[in-house]
A and B are shown apart, each in its own frame.
Chain A
Amino acid sequence: MKARHPVFRITGPALRLMVVSVVAVAVTACSQSMVLKPEAEVPPPLASQLPLHIAVHYPEEFRTYVYEENSDDRQNWSIDCGPSQVVLFDQVLPALFAEVSHVNEIHAAAGSGLDAILVPRVEDMQFALPHETRTELYEAWLRYSITLYEPDGRKITEFPLTGYGKSTTSLFSGREDGLNSAINEAFRDVGARLTLGFRNNQAVRPWLLAKQAEAGAGAGP
């Protein structure tokens, strides 16, 4: 007696659907598009706090910053860095200043007790993939400008803040993972430079000395 086995036949429409699906998957896999939302994994810095009350203002374009590019080599690139940048500064600034608060505008209310308002802005972002640089590295460069304002809105000073991150290619991880890792390294670098460089920054130092003198005079007889 012959055993009966179920028979599966791929008919014409089903076969066409299968071919179309396989082609669609292959095209998607080879596409140059890149949609990322990197996360800033920045630990709390080890730093001694400056005895200052600083308010931070994140402009709308900073909070929602998305790097976009659409060229022949980089089709539909969208790297959403806004939320991670806020996380980065919210992690680093409280380690640097005795008191940190948030304000929605540069002009703070009178008598707020603030020493300054700090406003970060994105100046530039650049990314590189291994095949573009003929290396085995994913790379990210971030450039911000940091502006300090008096509580009444007068500008005190402005200085640039940069960060660089790289990660190596791995056999089993995709380019999204590689670039995410490089961007996270760049965020860490920005945090490190801000923490270690703020006190000795040429643009900030005169203001810090003036604040120290002011505090010394206030504490005097």
Chain B
Amino acid sequence: MKTVRTHGKSCLMRRVAPASGVGRPLWPGRWLALPTLPLLLSACMSTTVIDQHRVTSSAPVEIGDESVVVLGRRQGAGQETEIDFISCVGEQLGNSRNGLSVIPEKQFVDGMYPYFEASTAPSDVKNLDRLVQNPAVAEKLTEFRVRYFVWIDGFTERVDERGSMSCSIGPGGGGCFGFASWDDEANYEATIWDFESLELSAKVSARTTGTSYMPAVFVPIPLLARVQSNACRNMARQIAQQLTTAPG
């Protein structure tokens, strides 16, 4: 098992005021702001820990001939894997650098209806083996040219919130004052099935944590840790590596 630890610089700062231009008088408080800014920027970084485990030595995807489908596991009673996370991983895998042919989740699930619904989807690769005994299913999978199934289970949640902020509006104007921060945590696990050998090929898990801040002096300034998108990007990178490189 190989563990890769990445620390992403993921602070998204929304610009709410125009930057000072050349020739403008410099704000006297800049000497206070300058040391604060890096502190705020570093504070809202997120950290991603990736664990990957190759189970079998599957051959890499033949680019152009074979496709990959990324699907969300939605069988549990609780919170379900977000549709936009699945699309994000699919888009990252299909970008020009990876060059993988990725079938969009909805197109695949609709095309295979009713075999990949939340209540009917195969729960392990052995069930997939049974499913392809059905000629209609086998024919449709061949039509899609599926080589790898990537099942993703997990979600992003807010685990803590601190601080307070109050906003008020009156005849003379309005504004917000205060400071709020919150911690988000993303936990996802991808299970990769090789359709050719009908075996579990690899597992990749991503755990991303990050803290976002929102100071407000008249105007709230969100400093957001992009937890879910970092988890997506890092997980997609590792999945692409699993799918495109021959086992060493």
Which residues of B are found within 8 Å of A192, using beta-carbon distances?
Answer: 113-114, 117, 119-120
| Cα separation A193 to B120 with both chains bound (whole Å) | 8
- Whether B136 lies near A46 (C-beta < 8 A) is yes
B116 closest partner in A (C-beta): A192
Nearest chain B CB to A82's CB is how many angstroms away? 23
> How near does chain B come to A101, taking the closest CB pair, in angstroms?
23
Complex CA gap A42/B110 in Å reads 8
A92 CB → nearest B CB, Å: 9
**B79-97: which have CB < 8 Å to A?**
79-80, 82
Could you tell me if A188 and B79 are in contact, using CB atoms closer than 8 angstroms?
Answer: no
Interface size on A, residues (CB 8 A): 21
Q: Does A161 contact B (CB under 8 A)?
A: no
A43 at the interface (CB under 8 A from B): yes
Cβ of B163 < 8 Å from any Cβ of A? no
Contact, CB under 8 Å: A45 / B118? no
Contact check: which of B79, B134, B140 meets A135 at CB < 8 Å? B79
| Cβ B113 vs Cβ A45 within 8 A | yes
Q: CA A217 – CA B82 in complex, angstroms?
A: 54
Q: Please tell me if the beta carbons of B115 and A193 are within 8 angstroms of each other in the complex.
A: no
Nearest opposing residue in chain B for A136, CB measure: B79
Give the residue of B113, B119, B120, B134 whose beta carbon is less than 8 angstroms from that of A44.
B113
- Near A by CB (< 8 A), chain B positions 100-114 give 110-114
**Contact of B78 with A by CB under 8 A:** yes
Name A168's closest neighbour in chain B (CB-CB): B80
- Mark contacts of A169-205 with chain B using CB atoms, 8 A cut-off: 1 yes-contact digit, 0 otherwise: 0000000000000000100110111011000000000
Query: Which of A164, A166, A188 interacts with B113 by CB under 8 Å?
Result: A188
Count of A-B residue pairs with CB < 8 Å? 48
Q: Which residues of A contact B113 (CB under 8 A)?
A: 42-46, 188, 191-192
- Kindly state whether residue A28 has any CB partner on chain B within 8 Å: no
Report A138-190 residues with CB < 8 Å from chain B CB. 164, 166, 168, 185, 188-189
B115 contacts which chain A residues (CB < 8 A)?
46, 196
Distance between Cα atoms of A76 and B80 in the complex (Å):
30
A46 to B142, CA, bound (A): 14
Q: Is there contact, CB below 8 Å, between A196 and B120?
A: yes
Give the CA-CA distance A196 to B121 in the complex, in Å.
Answer: 12
Q: Does B137 contact A (CB under 8 A)?
A: yes
Separation in Å of the B114 CB from the closest CB of chain A?
3
Q: Is A48 an interface residue (CB 8 A)?
A: yes
CA distance A47 to B82 in the complex (A): 29
What are 30 A-B interface contacts by the 8 Å CB criterion?
A42-B113, A43-B110, A43-B111, A43-B113, A44-B113, A45-B114, A46-B113, A46-B114, A46-B136, A46-B137, A46-B140, A47-B136, A48-B135, A48-B136, A135-B79, A137-B79, A137-B80, A166-B74, A166-B80, A168-B79, A168-B80, A185-B118, A188-B113, A189-B117, A189-B119, A191-B114, A192-B117, A193-B119, A196-B115, A196-B120
Q: Which residues of B contact A (CB under 8 A)?
A: 74, 78-80, 82, 110-115, 117-120, 134-137, 140
The 8 closest A-B pairs by CB, nearest first: A192-B114, A43-B113, A43-B110, A192-B117, A46-B136, A195-B114, A192-B120, A45-B114
